[in-house]
Amino acid sequence: GAVVSQHPSWVICKSGTSVKIECRSLDFQATTMFWYRQFPKQSLMLMATSNEGSKATYEQGVEKDKFLINHASLTLSTLTVTSAHPEDSSFYICSARATGRAGAYEQYFGPGTRLTVT
Amino acid sequence: GENVEQHPSTLSVQEGDSAVIKCTYSDSASNYFPWYKQELGKGPQLIIDIRSNVGEKKDQRIAVTLNKTAKHFSLHITETQPEDSAVYFCAASGGGQFYFGTGTSLTVIP
């Protein structure tokens, strides 16, 4: 149980184009999903918290117009990197928190998406 | 806000030996402490967690201890195997976002 998938697993795009990354909770419903960015040999950096049916909450320094997050259902959240540039190249990871369990703090992570912008 | 420190940053052990990774946190409101294992090119995988009402938790070769007074918690891996080689992250949470440590790269030498 508690499986989270991401698609695509890797993507190469040209500078100026947009890329959409999907995050799905496969066997549970997730009211809250999180999007992280990870640089090589570094820890996870929280970009935003996404709650189903409401606007995402972005961390300080993260451009909400550049990183568009949509959490349209209890099993799907998407991250769209708009007008991507080489500095947006990174490993993007989502996580999901199960719904309906009191005191359920666990976050289950997806396998990550490697984005390379050329 | 919360600040989580993790040590050591790298750790090499001989197969069969034990490995210990330590984390400290600053916010006394934190009450949930998970540990994640991340293999190269993959997402983090939850391996064990502990809540503040418990001092120790064990799952086969993996154990976590928590000292709320000193605000530190540790991951213990016994009888290490080459497949334990990975980066391990600790985290602390008060029910909202997770605050991650900087990671420990564990290498188990056959």
Q: A101 pLDDT exceeds 70?
A: no
Nearest-neighbour CA in chain A from B43: distance (Å): 4
Q: Which of A41, A107, A116 to substitute to test the interface with B, most B CBs within 10 Å? A: A107
The C-alpha torsion from A48 through A98 and B48 to B1, rounded to 10°, is 40
Q: How confident is the model at residue A103 (pLDDT cuts 50, 70, 90)?
A: low
* pLDDT score at A53: 83
Report CB contact under 8 Å: A93, B41: no
Report CB contact under 8 Å: A34, B34: no
Question: Residues of B at the A interface (Cβ-Cβ below 8 Å)?
Answer: 32, 34, 36, 41-46, 49, 89, 93, 95, 97-98, 100-103, 105
Q: How confident is the model at residue B96 (pLDDT cuts 50, 70, 90)?
A: confident
**Nearest in space to B3 (alpha carbons), one of B95, B110, B92:** B92
Query: pLDDT tens, A52-67?
Result: 888 899 999 999 999 9
Q: How confident is the model at residue B87 (pLDDT cuts 50, 70, 90)?
A: very high
Q: A102 pLDDT exceeds 60?
A: no
Q: How confident is the model at residue A20 (pLDDT cuts 50, 70, 90)?
A: very high
Q: How far is CA B100 from CA A27, A38, A81, in A?
A: 26, 12, 24
Nearest-neighbour CA in chain A from B16: distance (Å): 26
Nearest-neighbour CA in chain A from B108: distance (Å): 18
SS3 B51: strand
* pLDDT score at B61: 97
State the average pLDDT for chain B: 95
Residues B22, B38 contacting (CB under 8 angstroms): no
Q: B69 pLDDT exceeds 90?
A: yes
Q: Over the Cα atoms of chain A, what is R_g?
A: 14
Q: How confident is the model at residue A105 (pLDDT cuts 50, 70, 90)?
A: confident
Query: pLDDT tens, B29-53?
Result: 999 999 999 999 999 999 999 998 8
